[in-house]
Amino acid sequence: MPTEEARNSGEKPADAKEQQAKKTEEKPVQAKEQQPVAAAAGQQQKKVDEKAASSGQQAKKSRWLFKTKQRSQAAIQKSALAQQQQKLLQLSEISLWIDTYDDIFSDFDPRPYSQRALSDDFLLEAKKASRDRASGNIELRFLVPTKIRNPEQEGLIRKRLHEHFKKHSKELTQEVHTTRRNGIAMAFVGMLMVLGASYIYPEESTSFLQRLLFVVLEPGGWFMTWMGLDGIFGAESQKKTDLDFYRKMSKCEISFQSY
């Protein structure tokens, strides 16, 4: 009969086989139990990835919208600035852009604004701008950069411009009146010479002196008469452009506007 030790030794291998079989059976069960957990974890990770991708797209879209908004605001501001500048031009009768106050005056005159000579370029541009303006109360507006505005200097410049325009308007008016007076005098003398030539007309005279006077007085009289008439009726037409300009500007309102 087998001993007890033999029985025990025979039972151990059998128990080991049973345990190994149980472990082998448990592994598929554990694997089956872990599969839903892994699938759930995968779905959760997928959702996290999709959420991250969606967040990235939203951030990219937000940045694009922000840039688009900035561009539209810049375009609106630019359009508003252009409309404001256009409105400034329409409000004034004569508008001139200047970068500095020195643009109004001569570069070769070092005197202060209250005595300084005006620039020929400024006067030329002002004449061009005033040609189509009706006579009467007009406005001369200077568009000046905001950063250089100086009310005290603008007051001196306004006073100097008024003095210049009034002075030249008065001088031109006096020149026209003087030319007309001289024309009247020349025409009168010319008519007297023509009458004198007619009086001494040497029809049958043989006197050399009488013939000489006639030859001098007749053409000289007609010349003086025509020159006098030209001075009477053509004096203002010769200076009409300058005279109209200075008459308009002597009565104009001068203002300064920022841009």
What is the torsional sign of CA 182, 186, 189, 191?
negative
Domain boundaries, the chain: 95-258
Residues 185-197 have a mean pLDDT of: 92
Instruction: List the beta bridge partners of residue 97.
Output: 143
Q: How confident is residue 95, by pLDDT bands cut at 50, 70 and 90?
A: confident
Is residue 211 predicted with pLDDT exceeding 50? yes
pLDDT at 244 over 70: yes
Q: Is the pLDDT confidence value at 237 over 70?
A: yes
pLDDT score recorded for residue 64: 61
Let me know the angle formed at the C-alpha of 102 by 99 and 103, rounded to the nearest 5 degrees.
55
218 vs 32: which has the higher pLDDT:
218
pLDDT digit string, tens, across residues 97-153: 899 999 999 989 889 888 899 999 999 888 888 877 665 577 888 999 989 999 999
Specify the higher pLDDT residue, 75 or 216.
Answer: 216
The answer on pLDDT for 2 being more than 60 is: no
User: Which amino acid is residue 119, in one-letter code?
Assistant: S
Sign of CA dihedral 87, 92, 93, 95: negative
User: Nearest-CA neighbor of 139 among 248, 241, 259, 240?
Assistant: 248
The dihedrals phi and psi of 105, each to the nearest 5 degrees, come to -110, 165
Check: CB of residue 96 under 8 Å from CB of residue 141: yes
Is pTM beyond 0.75? Reply is no
Confidence class of residue 7 from pLDDT cuts 50, 70 and 90?
Answer: very low
CA distance 177 to 198: 32
Contact between 114 and 163 under an 8 Å Cβ cutoff? The reply is no
pLDDT in the model for residue 242: 87
Residue 139 host element (H or E): strand 139-144
* Amino acid 208: pLDDT: 82
Q: Provide the pLDDT confidence category of residue 231 given band limits of 50, 70 and 90.
A: confident
- Average pLDDT value over all residues in the chain: 76
Is residue 223 over pLDDT 90?
yes
Percentage of residues in the chain having pLDDT higher than 90: 27
The owner of tokens 């325009």 is 165
Helix (H, G, I), strand (E, B) or coil at 105: strand
For residue 180, is it left (φ>0), alpha (ψ between -120 and 50) or beta?
alpha
